[in-house]
Every structure is written in C-alpha cells, then in structure tokens.
Amino acid sequence: MGNVIGIGAAPKRKEDQRFLTGRGNYVSDIKRPGMAAGVFVRSPHGHAVLRGIDKSDALASPGVIAVLTGDDVADDGLGSLPCGWGITDAKGMPMKEPPFPMLAQDKVRFVGDMVAFVIAETPEQANAAADLLKIDYKVLPSVVGVLEAVRPDAPQLFEDVPNNICCDWELGDKAAVETAFKKAAHVARLSLVNNRLIGNPMEPRAAIAEYEPGTDRYTLWTTSQFPHVVRFLMGALVLNIPQHKLRVVAPDVGGGFGVKQFHYGEEAVITWAAKRVRRPVKWVASRSEGYVSDRHGRDHVTEAELALDETGKFLAFRVNTLANMGGYLSTFGPNIPTNLYGPLLGGVYTTPAIYCNVKVVFTNTVPVDAYRGAGRPEATFVLERIVDVAASEMGIDRVEIRRRNMIPKEAYPYQTPVLVQYDSGDPMGCLDGALVAADVKNFGARKAASARKGKFRGLGYSTYVEACGLAPSRFAGRLGARGGLYESATVRVHPTGQVTVMIGTHNHGQGHETTFAQIVSDKLGVAFENVDIVFGDTDRVQFGMGTYGSRSLVVGGAALSKATDKVIVKGKKIAAHLLEASEADIQFEAGKFSVAGTDRIKTFEEIAGAAYVPHNYPLEVLEPGLEEQAYYDPVNFTYPGGCHIAEVEVDPETGTVTLVNYTAVDDVGTVINPMIVEGQLHGGIVQGVGQALFENAVYDEGSGQLLSGSLMDYCMPRADHLPMMKVATHSTLCTHTPMGVKGCGEVGTIGSPAAVINAVVDALSHLGVTHVDMPATPNRIWRLLQNASLPVAAE
C-alpha cells in the first residue's frame, strides 16, 4: 500500500525511470514491419516559380518506391494546410489567407518549402534519389525583413496580397491615446527589434504513417503537442479522412516549446503517401532540416511611445509593430503577434489608454508561429524597455517609476483598456520579494568590485504579467479562433481501486504524469503509484486540445479535477446504498466514504469493487462502473506574472556580456509540485536569456538563405553561459480555476528578455547607451562601445 501524495508535495517524477534508462519511446525509436523511408525535397531558393519537376531519374534510382509532388496533391484534390485563426483588420475585413499547399504547386516561398517527397527502401536510397530530381526553378528576388517587405517595390509573395500585408490589425482607443499624448509632460520613444528565434527542441520532428486496408484506418505517429488537433485539422480539412478512421499518436516527445503545436505539411504528406504506397513510411528530420522547416518565433520591428505626466504616471501607450509571418500562415500564426500581444501591453500598470497597430507581413522566410511565450514576451519586452527609457529620461529611479504605476493588490480584479481583465495578482509583492532575494541593496558594492576589474556591471528589472491557460472558447471565438480551447479528462477507476486518467493535454517534459497523479491522489485518497496518466493517443484519449499556452494544468488540470469530483459524487451514491444511509449524510475524506457522525465506513477500493461487481447495488437508479469524464472551458485567461531581476557584467575589451545573477519571484497561483514548477521556471528563464544574449535567426536579404541554419551558427545557451538562478514564488490564487492554479510554463521566457537587456543597458548607461537590440552578442556590444567613442574604461 503506497502513499497518498497530494497537492504541494514534490514527489520524484513518475516519467523519469524510462528516460533515465534509455527506454523512452520517441517517434524516431518506433519501427513498423515493412517500413519504408521518406525524405522531403525542399526548396533551396527563398522565392521561385516552380516550372516543373522531372521525376524519371529519381524513380529509376535503386530502392525507390514513389516520388510525390504538388501535382499529385492537386490530382488527388487535397486541401490546403489550414490556419486556426482568422483575424480581421481595423475595418472588419478578414485577413488575407492564401493557400498553403502541403507540397508546393506553382511557387516556392521560403528556403525549406516542400517540393517533393521521395519514398525508398532505406533513407540512404531515398536521399540518393532525391538528388536525382530535376526541378526547374525560375528564381525570383526574396524579401525577408518586414520593413523591406512592405515597401512598394518589394517582391510580392502572392498576387492578391498587396504589399505583402496579411492584415493591418489594431486594438485600443486610438483617439483617447492621441488626446492623452497632447497632455503629456513627457513622451518616451523607443524603436526596437524583437529577434527571430528558432525553438530547437532537442528531439527533431519525425513522423511515421501506416494505412491498414483491412479496416481502412490510418495511424500517424508524430512529434506533436496536440494529436487530437492534428487528427481534426489533417483528417477533416486536408486529407478528407473521417475522424474515426484516423488515429494520431504522439508518444514521448522530446520537447516542444511551440514548435510541435502546429499541423505540419509533413504529417499530411506522409499519411497520404502511406496509403498510396501501402507501406508504413517513416521520416525523421535532421537538425538542419528543422532549421528551415520548424516554425520560427518572434521577429517584430516596433516603434513605441509612452506618454507620462510630470510625476512619471503613465497616461497612454502607443505601439506600432510590423510582425513577420514568413511565407504562409501557420496554424496559430496570425493570432500570435495580435491577440497574444496587444492585450498584454497594459502590463502590471494602470495605463488608462493604449493603442496598438500590428501589420502582419508575409516574407520569404519559414512561417512564424508560437514559440514559448508567443506574443507575450514581445509585449513585455516593449513595455519593460520603454519604462526604463522613460525613467532614465525623467530622472526617476526604475523601481520607483514601476511602483508609481503598478496595479495595487487591492485593485484586482482589474480591467485593462485592452480587453483583458486580470482576476488576481500582487505585482508589488513580487517586486518587493525580488528586491530582497536579489540583494539589490548591495548592488553598488558589487558594481564597484566589477569596476575594479575593468568590467561594467548592470542591474535590470522586469515586472510583468502574462495571459495564459488558453483559453476561454467564447472569448477566443470573438477574437477569431476557429476551434474551441477547452480540455477533457476521463478518470477510470478500476475494480481494484487503481486509477487511469485519460487526458487531452500532452506531456513532453512538463511532468504531467506526476502532477496530474498528485491531483488524483490528493482528491481520491488513492496512492500516488496507483494512478497512471495516459495522453497522446487519439484511440485511447477521448478528446483534447493539447499542450501550449501554459494551459495543461490550468485547463486540463481543471477538467481532471471536475472528473474526479464526479467520481466522488457517484461513489457517495454507491456508499449510501451500501451503508443504508441517505446520500446527503455520506462524507468522503482521505479515501473513505463514511456516514457522518458514525464509524460506518467504506473504503474507496470497496466502492470501486461494488461498482464493478454490482450484486448489492442500486441498479434501478445507478449504472455500474466507476468512470467519469469532464470537459472544462475556462471563463477567463489566467494571469501569472512576477518580477525578474538580472545582473550582468560587461567586458569592454571583448564586448562579452556575462549573466552573473538572476532572480525571479513569480506568481503562478497554487503550486501543485514545487520541484516541477522550479524546473519550468529555470528552463523558461534560460530560453529568454537565450533570446537576450545568444540566439538569432538571420536571413540573407535578396537570396532568402537562412544564415544561421545549424547548431554551429545559431547559438543555444549552454551550461557554462549561466549562473545559478534564484527562483521563488509569491502566489495569489486564480479566482476562477478550480484549484487556484495560473500556469508556469511560459513565465520565465516572458519575463526574462527585458530583465537581461535592461541590465545590459544599465551597465552601459554611463556611456550614453539607451538601448541594445537582442541578442546582445559580444560583436554587437563591442561595436556599440567603439561607436560610443567614449573612453572604454570603468568608472
């Protein structure tokens, strides 16, 4: 008999045994009888007319089974890859939504765009045959930057998308903002770039598809964060496969970060191909292939203005952004720089008027979509940077200006001028906690010590809030979502009292098998080891929207909590019958049903047994069995946030920025497993630090070539780049989720870039530096120091 392990405890993870011993089950580990190998042939050009493909040599190559191209897709009348969000412009006109064929048909629009799929007996044979394809391209000039793409003379990606603008979106009261700016005592202005990122989960994407003629069923194993959504989008909208004839399995998945929460063309092509060749087909991306095909993130160019009164109170905030969509609309693409960006521009402040315009722009680059944080890191970066600029220009301390504008704890729930209403929070409490934890009061001494070594030390703050737990379906529907965003869970109690949970979220590192088991153990009083969590298989799990937007615990955990409550309700009915008491008198606590005020009890196991062996059972009014299901659709987003403080040291000789201290105090609501929450915060923070200091996806204007196309060119954070971080929580409870949870998957990535860059600017402020674009690489800082033309010596 094991132990109940409840909410707030930190048991070691259930999933670890298989990963530690090399027994994980990732897609690339799976082999099917008779399996063939597929490789995708991708465009080497950023922009070209596809004039024709001669398959003959490739087809004659040893081991080749089939070569499929866009013409075959067209012949089979298959659909275009769907976009899950339809946003509208300021006049209410729908966004421009050109088709996104699963294999290119008339044109290629980015380096990596898929042109053909070659299937052979072995990967080597498929690769050899791919080299023999004769593809006739008429190369066109590429445009990769948003500023360049909207120029009148820019190359046009689509005939019916003038100036490459997909949508000219806006949010907020433009007139109120203009009025406020006229009254301002000071206006701070900032131009910035939010650098393009590549998610780089350590497991490259992969897929295996199989068709069973005997049952007319397809199975797709894919590295996905949301197998049910893939089944729906691919089955219903692309391949016309009935939902009951399509099984999508996402087994162990080696990290996602958003990269694996889209329906990719590769999934559709390989599923379609498996039926055509009547063989299981497997494709595993190389890392380099991932760089030119995994959806990228961020990539904004922004002009922001903050109006303040003479005391430093924010009067109005105006933001104009150009957001890069890449060559086509990906699953969530247009939603990210609009609905997940504009509504966050209020931050933790009482700014009464906000206006945001976002031009969503097509370019000859990999489609851009959600990457950990998705829109919210971009909003936080703009806001937290301009607050520092305003403080510096007005001579107000950076912490003080934040305090003067912060929403006080007692003002919650707080309605912002940009749609969202924060239910709870205590930004001042997080700030106070972080100031102590980061030992800010002794920063001066540390800075002086750095100066003695010839180094510049800086401190940076980011006080922020985000919106996650995606999402209230009704609200999302008004914003253009084409699907619901609820979650579902089934709690199956076995006759012996053990529990299997089927849940629609997907675990790819977040520790759901542990956290969700704690919830069940806590609520049902069942031993922790007697609870298993099943996910990632549309044949085993009823339905689900998957894992992204810090939604798994918030929305999925709520569904699980509700389903567990239903089990208790039914259990009480059974107990009332067995104990010959009225249902109202039955109590359930610590795994025991009892008649209030008596010592008559039935254990959870006894009730489960009675439900499946209903000899003495109220069959007239109650069905046998003990299994309950719940769907949960949240009423609001959740709003985690906090305060991050970064401390950096800059070496003026080399321009190297070293992160020397990092402190985060975050409000993530109720913490189910503190060990797992800390791990999520660590990882999230380092992804934000990566954006701030190291990572940058660089394209060559004109040719459209990705210059940072491998792990040798794209700098990922490594162990020796980082200090030991201090993370802590300062929680207020979410008022509308069943357990008070807010989500913790993305906060680190949202809060950290601004904290790090504010620290870098602080370190260099004595040289007149007011802004540094990300990533703050040694090259960029060294050049900045040279151009400053100031004595490069410590104060």
Partner 1 sequence: MQISFTLNRRPTTVEVEPATLVAELLREQLHLTGTHIGCDTSQCGACVVHLNGLPVKSCTLLAPALDGATLLTIEGLTGAPGSNQMHPMQEAFREHHGLQCGFCTPGMLMTAVALATEKPDLTEADVRHGLEGNICRCTGYQNIVISVMAGAAAMHAAKGE
Would you tell me which residues interact with partner 1 (CB under 8 A)?
12-13, 15-24, 26, 28-29, 31, 199-204, 252-257, 286-288, 508-511, 675-676, 678-679, 682-687, 710-712, 716-720, 722, 724-725, 748
Task: Report how far residue 523's alpha carbon sits from residue 591's, in angstroms, rounded to the nearest whole number.
Answer: 8
Q: Which residues contact 762 (CB under 8 A, 6 or more apart)?
A: 388, 458, 459, 460
Q: Which residue has the tokens 């958003």?
A: 258
Residue 722 CB, nearest approach to partner 1 (Å)? 6
Q: Which residue has the tokens 């990533």?
A: 775
Residue 506 CB, nearest approach to partner 1 (Å)? 11
Instruction: Strands of 591-636 (E only): list them.
Output: 592-595, 601-603, 627-632
Residue 36 CB, nearest approach to partner 1 (Å)? 14
Residue 756 CB, nearest approach to partner 1 (Å)? 13
Q: Any idea what DSSP says for residue 555?
A: I
Q: Which residues contact 597 (CB under 8 A, 6 or more apart)?
A: 585
Q: Among residues 665, 673, 667, 666, which one has the least CA distance to residue 423?
A: 667
Closer of 622 and 711 to partner 1 (Cβ): 711
Residue 279 CB, nearest approach to partner 1 (Å)? 17
Task: Quote the tokens at residue 537.
Answer: 């298989």
Closer of 253 and 316 to partner 1 (Cβ): 253
Closer of 104 and 253 to partner 1 (Cβ): 253
Closer of 42 and 275 to partner 1 (Cβ): 42
Task: Quote the tokens at residue 597.
Answer: 């005020």
Longest Cα–Cα distance of the chain, Å, equals 90
Closer of 535 and 604 to partner 1 (Cβ): 535
Task: Report how far residue 65's alpha carbon sits from residue 122's, in angstroms, rounded to the nearest whole number.
Answer: 10
Q: Among residues 236, 201, 206, 203, which one has the least CA distance to residue 221?
A: 206
Residue 124 CB, nearest approach to partner 1 (Å)? 9
Closer of 126 and 399 to partner 1 (Cβ): 126
Contact 282, 210 (CB under 8 A): no
Closer of 176 and 715 to partner 1 (Cβ): 715
Residue 552 CB, nearest approach to partner 1 (Å)? 13
Closer of 202 and 584 to partner 1 (Cβ): 202
3-state helix, strand, coil split of the chain in percent (to 5) is: 30, 25, 45
Print burial letters for 531-547: b (CB count within 10 Å at least 16), e (below 16): bbbebbbbeebebbbbb
Closer of 343 and 717 to partner 1 (Cβ): 717
Print burial letters for 218-235: b (CB count within 10 Å at least 16), e (below 16): bbbbbbbbbbbbbbbbbb
Contact 353, 177 (CB under 8 A): yes
Closer of 256 and 669 to partner 1 (Cβ): 256
Angle at 775 between CA 769 and CA 777, to 5 degrees: 75
Residue 387 CB, nearest approach to partner 1 (Å)? 26
Closer of 492 and 506 to partner 1 (Cβ): 506
Task: Report how far residue 124's alpha carbon sits from residue 543's, in angstroms, rounded to the nearest whole number.
Answer: 38
Name the helix (H) or strand (E) containing 107: strand 107-108
Task: Report how far residue 497's alpha carbon sits from residue 574's, in angstroms, rounded to the nearest whole number.
Answer: 14
Closer of 282 and 736 to partner 1 (Cβ): 282
Closer of 17 and 311 to partner 1 (Cβ): 17
Residue 291 CB, nearest approach to partner 1 (Å)? 10
Angle at 37 between CA 36 and CA 41, to 5 degrees: 140
Please list the alpha-helical segments (H only) found in 395-426: 398-405
Residue 621 CB, nearest approach to partner 1 (Å)? 46
Q: 584, exposed or middle or buried, with CB in 10 Å at 0-12, 13-18, 19+?
A: exposed
Residue 752 CB, nearest approach to partner 1 (Å)? 10
Residue 25 CB, nearest approach to partner 1 (Å)? 8
Name the helix (H) or strand (E) containing 494: none
Closer of 178 and 529 to partner 1 (Cβ): 529
Q: Among residues 548, 756, 734, which one has the least CA distance to residue 640?
A: 734
Residue 364's CB: how many other CB atoms inside 10 A? Answer: 31
Residue 12 CB, nearest approach to partner 1 (Å)? 5
Residue 15 CB, nearest approach to partner 1 (Å)? 7
Residue 260 CB, nearest approach to partner 1 (Å)? 11
Task: Report how far residue 520's alpha carbon sits from residue 560's, in angstroms, rounded to the nearest whole number.
Answer: 8
Closer of 197 and 476 to partner 1 (Cβ): 197
Q: Among residues 151, 150, 152, which one has the least CA distance to residue 167?
A: 150
Residue 372 CB, nearest approach to partner 1 (Å)? 10
Q: Which residues contact 710 (CB under 8 A, 6 or more apart)?
A: 287, 288, 291
Please list the alpha-helical segments (H only) found in 473-614: 473-478, 512-524, 557-578, 604-612
Closer of 80 and 673 to partner 1 (Cβ): 673
